């Protein structure tokens, strides 16, 4: 129980804001008076907004110094600014966006940080040593899972340096318009997933034989040999037993190679960190995401690659991102990806407002604009050095916008395809999320979540809200933990072996 006399506390993000959020666990009662003299006229739950001034109907509601909406009715000072009182503004247009202006500050390099990673022949560095069995079509998924059980039981104990064997199974590969423009996304995602640095360059693909996505299409030309592929319909294979034996044999050859991998000291610049949030609340943008943004800046200063994603959660902050692009080409690429996504959503008769969940709203987030302002903070302050279309492999160091849907599983899958080797996930409402192919560090926005889920959450950023830690403190904690986890330290999700399925993003038609 918190002390009965816990001091009432609200958090205002910007001096221009006319709303703030209630920080106290359990919320605050009517009549509560803050040090500044503000008096609550009604009960306000934790994380929800209080009006710091009278707000007239149609007047701007400002948080993070940005317009998160307009008042749908007059709002009295000290009252609860509920979702129904916040009318959502239109998304910023793409014309007249601010030009790159060097706003992303180039900070001094951060030297001397390293981790113990697995160097690969292509120059990439893995954080785990995993055999991936790629598949070209859903038809083979059950068979691959059957073989996987045997591989884990019969082979894995013989190769102690290998962490795991994972099946890259999915619902794609046949019954799809393989030549439609949208098909490029799932196909390059599967190609690039097989090349994730945690898989050590050892490729094997299991296909059926008659599928539209022929297995040889799964890797770029020259990167695949015929003996990397097995097709279940191969006429040389008789019966299910021989088919499974063949998969097990292929896995055995590759496990022998992977078992020779050893961790070596690698500079922090070899890291590829993917960031996302899920189950956000009003504290996401106050505690966990700013701390992760601070860690992202440290990583960029150390020369690493850091990706932020989730188009619908940055769409409303596009005007804050284009000035941070390193050049006009990168600014244009940001707009290209957001514009593509606007049209993708419009095709489904939806828009970005479809993003916010009931949990987001219960957590105090009125709309996607407010969610976006809190989400984009995790990109820190570094210049934006590059933009990736969904599933593209990362090419540059520094802060990268990797365009993905905000869906946790789809975002994680696409970031893995881009080459992510450590994932950092901030959560307010809580999620047990984990991935088989890369470690996931989970950061809670509130301390009571960490207390309840002490064996699921890796870092508590809630102490920032109560003033017990600073954004910098937690940012450094996340940065150091990333290096430890990259070196082999287990996350809670790994401890429990929690893995969510990969989920391909397929904007193309299914036939
Ligand atoms: Ca997400």
**pLDDT, tens digit, 9 for 90 and up, residues 338-359:** 999 999 999 999 988 888 899 8
The whole-angstrom separation of Cα 491 and Cα 494 is 5
Structure tokens at 509: 């038609």
Stronger pLDDT, 272 or 466, i.e. the higher one: 272
Contacts of 18 (CB under 8 A, 6+ apart): 51, 52, 53, 55, 60, 61, 62
Q: How far, in Å, from the CA of 64 to the mean position of ligand 1? A: 21
Q: How confident is the model at residue 107 (pLDDT cuts 50, 70, 90)?
A: confident
Q: How far, in Å, from the CA of 242 to the mean position of ligand 1? A: 41
Q: How far, in Å, from the CA of 304 to the mean position of ligand 1? A: 22
Write down the pLDDT at residue 104.
65
Q: How far, in Å, from the CA of 161 to the mean position of ligand 1? A: 32
Across the range 447-476, mean pLDDT stands at 95
Average pLDDT along the chain: 94
3-state secondary structure of 361: helix
125-126 and 114-119 strand pairing: antiparallel
Q: How confident is the model at residue 466 (pLDDT cuts 50, 70, 90)?
A: confident
Neighbouring C-beta atoms of residue 409, cutoff 10 Å: 17
Write down the pLDDT at residue 225.
77
Arch. (CATH architecture) of 116-258 = 3-Layer(aba) Sandwich (3.40)
Q: Is the distance from CB of 438 to CB of 423 less than 8 angstroms?
A: yes
Q: How far, in Å, from the CA of 249 to the mean position of ligand 1? A: 38
Q: How far, in Å, from the CA of 273 to the mean position of ligand 1? A: 15
Write down the pLDDT at residue 2.
44
Q: Which residues of 360-395 are buried (b: 16+ CB within 10 A; e: fewer)?
A: bbebbbbbbbbbbbbbbbbbbbbbbbbbbbbbbbbe
Write down the pLDDT at residue 219.
77
125-126 and 130-135 strand pairing: unpaired
The whole-angstrom separation of Cα 316 and Cα 172 is 31
Residue 324 has pLDDT above 60, yes or no: yes
Q: Which residues of 169-204 are buried (b: 16+ CB within 10 A; e: fewer)?
A: bbbbbbebebeeebbbbbbbbbbbbbbbbbbbbbbb
Write down the pLDDT at residue 203.
93
Q: Edge-to-edge strand order for the sheet containing 49-51?
A: 10-11, 19-22, 49-51
Stronger pLDDT, 218 or 390, i.e. the higher one: 390
Q: How confident is the model at residue 3 (pLDDT cuts 50, 70, 90)?
A: very low
Residue 140 has pLDDT above 50, yes or no: yes
Q: How far, in Å, from the CA of 54 to the mean position of ligand 1? A: 34
> How far is residue 422 CA from its own chain's centroid?
10
Neighbouring C-beta atoms of residue 323, cutoff 10 Å: 17
Q: Is the distance from CB of 302 to CB of 268 less than 8 angstroms?
A: yes
264-267 and 114-119 strand pairing: antiparallel
Q: How far, in Å, from the CA of 384 to the mean position of ligand 1? A: 20
Q: Is the distance from CB of 308 to CB of 384 less than 8 angstroms?
A: no
3-state secondary structure 43-94: CECCCCEEECCCECCCCEEEECCEEEEEECCCECCCCECCHHHEECCCCCCC
Across the range 78-101, mean pLDDT stands at 94
The whole-angstrom separation of Cα 9 and Cα 450 is 20
The whole-angstrom separation of Cα 273 and Cα 265 is 17
User: In the chain, what are the domain boundaries?
Assistant: 1-90, 116-258, 272-495
Across the range 179-198, mean pLDDT stands at 95
Write down the pLDDT at residue 5.
53
Q: How far, in Å, from the CA of 435 to the mean position of ligand 1? A: 13
Q: How far, in Å, from the CA of 375 to the mean position of ligand 1? A: 10
| Residue 468, φ and ψ in degrees, nearest 5 | -85, -15
What letter does residue 510 receive in the DSSP assignment? B
Instruction: Please state which CATH class domain 1-90 belongs to.
Output: mainly beta
Domains 1-90 and 116-258 equal at CATH topology level: no
Contacts of 123 (CB under 8 A, 6+ apart): none
Q: How far, in Å, from the CA of 278 to the mean position of ligand 1? A: 4
Across the range 267-293, mean pLDDT stands at 95
Write down the pLDDT at residue 467.
87
The whole-angstrom separation of Cα 159 and Cα 231 is 26
Share of the chain above pLDDT 90, in %: 91
Residue 241 has pLDDT above 70, yes or no: yes
3-state secondary structure of 174: coil
Q: How far, in Å, from the CA of 297 to the mean position of ligand 1? A: 20
- Range of weakest confidence among 155-169, 212-226, 276-290: 212-226
Q: How far, in Å, from the CA of 431 to the mean position of ligand 1? A: 11
Q: How far, in Å, from the CA of 279 to the mean position of ligand 1? A: 8
Q: How far, in Å, from the CA of 277 to the mean position of ligand 1? A: 5
What letter does residue 109 receive in the DSSP assignment? P
CA atoms within 13 A on the CB side of 346: 6
Provide the residue count of the chain.
511
Q: How far, in Å, from the CA of 214 to the mean position of ligand 1? A: 31
Q: How far, in Å, from the CA of 382 to the mean position of ligand 1? A: 21
What letter does residue 428 receive in the DSSP assignment? S
pLDDT in tens, 200-240: 999 999 999 999 999 988 876 666 778 899 999 999 999 99
Q: How far, in Å, from the CA of 426 to the mean position of ligand 1? A: 9
Residue 502 has pLDDT above 50, yes or no: yes
């Amino acid at each position: 129980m918190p002390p009965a006399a816990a001091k009432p506390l609200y958090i205002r993000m910007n001096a221009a804001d006319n709303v703030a959020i209630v920080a106290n666990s359990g919320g605050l009662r009517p009549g509560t008076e803050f040090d500044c003299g503000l008096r609550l006229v009604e009960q306000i739950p934790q994380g929800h907004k209080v009006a710091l001034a009278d707000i007239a109907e149609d007047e701007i509601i400002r948080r993070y110094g940005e317009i998160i909406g307009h008042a749908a009715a007059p709002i009295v000072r000290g009252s609860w600014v509920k979702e129904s009182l916040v009318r959502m503004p239109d998304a910023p247009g793409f014309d007249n966006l601010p030009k790159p202006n060097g706003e992303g500050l180039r900070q001094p390099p951060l030297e001397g940080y390293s981790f113990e990673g697995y160097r690969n022949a292509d120059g990439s560095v893995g954080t785990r040593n995993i055999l991936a069995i790629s598949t070209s079509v859903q038809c083979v998924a059950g068979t691959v899972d059957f073989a996987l059980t045997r591989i884990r039981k019969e082979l894995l104990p013989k190769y102690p340096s290998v962490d795991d064997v994972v099946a890259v199974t999915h619902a794609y590969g046949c019954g799809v318009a393989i030549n439609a423009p949208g098909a490029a996304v799932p196909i390059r995602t599967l190609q690039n997933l097989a090349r994730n640095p945690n898989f050590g360059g050892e490729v094997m693909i299991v296909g059926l034989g008659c599928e539209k996505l022929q297995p040889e299409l799964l890797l770029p030309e020259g990167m695949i040999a015929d003996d990397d592929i097995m097709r279940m319909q191969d006429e040389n294979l008789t019966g299910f037993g021989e088919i499974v034996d063949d998969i097990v044999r292929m896995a055995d050859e590759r496990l022998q190679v992977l078992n020779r991998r050893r961790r070596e000291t690698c500079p922090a610049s070899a890291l590829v960190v993917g960031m996302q949030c899920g189950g956000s609340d009003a504290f996401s943008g106050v505690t966990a995401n700013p701390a992760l943004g601070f860690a992202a800046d440290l990583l960029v200063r150390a020369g690493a690659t850091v990706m932020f994603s989730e188009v619908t959660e940055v769409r409303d902050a596009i005007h804050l991102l284009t000035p941070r692009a390193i050049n006009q080409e990168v600014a244009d690429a940001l707009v290209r990806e957001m514009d593509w996504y606007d049209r993708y959503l419009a095709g489904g008769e939806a828009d970005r407002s479809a993003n916010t969940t009931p949990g987001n709203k219960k957590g105090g987030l009125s709309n996607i604009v407010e969610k976006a302002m809190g989400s984009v903070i995790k990109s820190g302050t570094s210049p934006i050095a590059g933009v990736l279309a969904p599933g593209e492999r990362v090419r540059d160091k520094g802060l990268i916008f990797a365009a993905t849907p905000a869906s946790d599983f789809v975002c994680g899958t696409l970031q893995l395809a881009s080459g992510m080797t450590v994932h950092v996930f901030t959560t307010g409402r809580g999620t047990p999320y984990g991935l088989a192919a890369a470690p996931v560090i989970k950061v809670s926005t509130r301390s009571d979540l960490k207390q309840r889920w002490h064996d699921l959450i890796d870092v508590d950023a809630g102490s920032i809200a109560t003033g017990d830690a600073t954004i910098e403190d937690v940012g450094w904690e996340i940065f150091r933990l990333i290096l430890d986890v990259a070196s082999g330290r287990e996350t809670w999700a790994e401890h429990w072996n929690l893995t969510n399925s990969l989920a391909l993003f397929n904007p193309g038609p299914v036939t």
